[in-house]
């Protein structure tokens, strides 16, 4: 299908017309654009027929892996029956059924589901709901958001304001005002209590109280936290962290938004990350794995308390998206849930997560590997220049090593994952939840070969 001629034509068209996301386009002046044409299970193939282990699940998305005809058929069936209708004062069966299904799995009284087209829109919706809720319940000044350093929450103006990566924001300032950062839970580089996870967790959570006090409790609406923070390379919460955050949120009447765009739907072996770490959010934002990537969808899940003022009279949440809760996407998500249950996907992650961690930890014998961290099927491997001092790379080394060598070398070795230096340099892994020991071994072996070569370049 993709012979030499059609490949050349695709390359030319891509160069002439396609604007890839977060992509330094000049990297493809001399190199081919990687064109992925097919997927099956944990593997994808490019237009030249080369095979890659998809160790990032596309982009933290492909929970059930590629090429599942049951998910594709659910999409086709729905498209034939009712391809589109909006959720603007109307409903359709699969959105209704999916809302009930999600509410059934979501912790506590998170019973109200507002569909979006993706994660950033779910984050926007959560911030707007928080502001709207306080405006109509007698605390109209509460509008500010606290989030964590280096955390990524999306690219729209609101979500980007909440994002804690100055480099991503710089070109778009001024953004939406009223967002503030607190430290994240990177214990590998903890400024205090680095040898005592509980004390560190308490300290990190208490920084949220400090920020609320500094801003004025009457002005703070919400704190946005991922169960495991992705950007920076997978920072799980220290023990007691979220319990302390919950106490602080209750004390100051600040909403706890669990941004689970990555961490929900099995990534950590549970439907929701909050469940894994035993805390009760006021809102969960989710997307990505909700359909395993077979159609785009996001969901903001709100508590009964937040919905209550909108349940009566003329009060209306004046917010929505044309494609939020698209019938094809909600049909696919329902099938995704059915497969999770039938094939015991979460149970499988919990059974195999120890083996995944153990296999990745073998890499700690390499001088360039400083830390292996994460939970479930979600890991970051931090690369360092000097393991004893934890010294990281300077800008020129990062450019040469990560952008110049690592991403391409991993891909050439048949491993699709992500070398990222939005915080300290890390390799990020988020493989399909169907992966087993053979995939873990392949990931480890390919990483070992490439990281060994990378260390030689220093």
Sites of contact with ligand PLP (CB under 6 A): 118-120, 123, 152-154, 226, 230, 259, 261-262, 287
| Closest CB 184 distance from ligand PLP, rounded Å | 12
Nearer to ligand PLP, 151 or 454 (CB): 151
How many angstroms separate the CA atoms of 176 and 245, rounded?
25
Pick from 278, 283, 218: which is nearest to 255 by CA? Answer: 283
| Closest CB 382 distance from ligand PLP, rounded Å | 18
Nearer to ligand PLP, 87 or 261 (CB): 261
Pick from 300, 296, 280: which is nearest to 288 by CA? Answer: 296
Pick from 259, 214, 236: which is nearest to 122 by CA? Answer: 259
| Closest CB 117 distance from ligand PLP, rounded Å | 8
| Closest CB 156 distance from ligand PLP, rounded Å | 7
The answer for 60, left when phi > 0, alpha when psi is -120 to 50, beta otherwise, is left
Q: Indicate the helix (H) or strand (E) that contains 46.
A: strand 43-46
405 burial (CB, 10 Å; 0-12 / 13-18 / 19+) is middle
How many angstroms separate the CA atoms of 428 and 405, rounded?
16
Give the number of C-alpha atoms closer than 13 A to the C-alpha of residue 254, restricted to the C-beta side.
30
Give the number of C-alpha atoms closer than 13 A to the C-alpha of residue 190, restricted to the C-beta side.
19
Nearer to ligand PLP, 106 or 384 (CB): 106
Nearer to ligand PLP, 130 or 287 (CB): 287
Q: How many residues does the structure list for the chain?
A: 458
How many angstroms separate the CA atoms of 246 and 282, rounded?
10
Whether residue 281 contacts residue 107, with contact meaning beta carbons closer than 8 Å, is answered with yes
Nearer to ligand PLP, 292 or 359 (CB): 292
| Closest CB 16 distance from ligand PLP, rounded Å | 26
| Closest CB 455 distance from ligand PLP, rounded Å | 29
Residue nearest ligand PLP, Cβ-based: 119
How many angstroms separate the CA atoms of 79 and 69, rounded?
15
Whether residue 254 contacts residue 222, with contact meaning beta carbons closer than 8 Å, is answered with yes
| Closest CB 373 distance from ligand PLP, rounded Å | 17
How many angstroms separate the CA atoms of 319 and 317, rounded?
6
How many angstroms separate the CA atoms of 135 and 370, rounded?
47
Nearer to ligand PLP, 230 or 346 (CB): 230
Nearer to ligand PLP, 234 or 254 (CB): 234
| Closest CB 165 distance from ligand PLP, rounded Å | 12
How many angstroms separate the CA atoms of 295 and 414, rounded?
26
| Closest CB 61 distance from ligand PLP, rounded Å | 9
Nearer to ligand PLP, 186 or 230 (CB): 230
Nearer to ligand PLP, 71 or 162 (CB): 162
């Amino acid at each position: 299908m993709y012979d030499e001629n059609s490949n050349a034509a695709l390359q030319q068209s891509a160069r002439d017309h396609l604007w890839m996301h977060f992509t330094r386009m000049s990297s493809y002046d001399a190199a081919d654009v990687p064109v992925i044409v097919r997927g099956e299970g944990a593997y994808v193939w490019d237009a030249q027929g080369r095979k890659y282990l998809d160790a990032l699940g596309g982009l933290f998305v492909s929970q059930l892996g590629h090429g599942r005809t049951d998910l594709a058929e659910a999409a086709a069936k729905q498209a034939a029956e009712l391809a589109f209708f909006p959720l603007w004062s109307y409903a359709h069966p699969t959105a209704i059924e999916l809302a009930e299904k999600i509410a059934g799995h979501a912790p506590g009284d998170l019973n109200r589901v507002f569909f979006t087209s993706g994660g950033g829109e779910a984050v926007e919706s959560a911030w707007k709901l928080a502001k709207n809720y306080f405006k109509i319940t007698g605390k109209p000044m509460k509008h500010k958001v606290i989030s964590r350093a280096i955390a990524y929450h999306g690219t729209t103006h609101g979500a980007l304001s909440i994002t804690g990566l100055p480099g991503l924001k710089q070109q778009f300032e001024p953004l939406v005002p009223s967002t503030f950062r607190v430290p994240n839970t990177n214990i590998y580089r903890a400024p205090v209590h680095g040898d005592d996870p509980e004390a560190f967790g308490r300290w990190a959570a208490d920084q949220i109280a400090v920020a609320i006090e500094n801003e004025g409790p009457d002005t703070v609406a919400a704190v946005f936290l991922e169960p495991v923070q992705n950007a920076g390379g997978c920072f799980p919460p220290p023990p007691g962290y979220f319990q302390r955050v919950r106490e602080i949120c209750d004390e100051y009447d600040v909403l706890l938004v669990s941004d689970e765009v990555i961490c929900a739907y099995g990534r950590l072996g549970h439907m929701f990350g909050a469940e894994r770490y035993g805390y009760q959010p006021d809102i969960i934002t989710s997307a990505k794995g909700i359909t395993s990537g077979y159609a785009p969808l996001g969901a903001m899940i709100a508590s009964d308390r937040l919905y209550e003022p909108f349940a009566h009279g003329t009060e209306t949440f004046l917010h929505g998206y044309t494609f939020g809760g698209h019938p094809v996407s909600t049909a696919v998500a329902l099938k995704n849930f059915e497969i999770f249950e039938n094939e015991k996907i979460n149970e499988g992650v919990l059974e195999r997560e120890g083996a995944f961690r153990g296999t990745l930890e073998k890499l700690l014998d390499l001088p360039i590997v400083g830390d292996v961290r994460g939970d479930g099927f979600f890991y970051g491997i931090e690369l360092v220049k000097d393991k004893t001092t934890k010294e990281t790379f300077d800008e020129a080394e990062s450019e040469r090593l990560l952008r110049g060598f690592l991403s391409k070398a991993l891909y050439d070795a048949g491993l699709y994952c992500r070398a990222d230096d939005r915080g300290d340099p890390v390799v990020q892994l988020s493989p399909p939840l169907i992966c087993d020991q053979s995939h873990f071994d392949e990931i480890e072996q390919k990483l070992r070969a490439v990281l060994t070569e990378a260390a030689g370049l220093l």
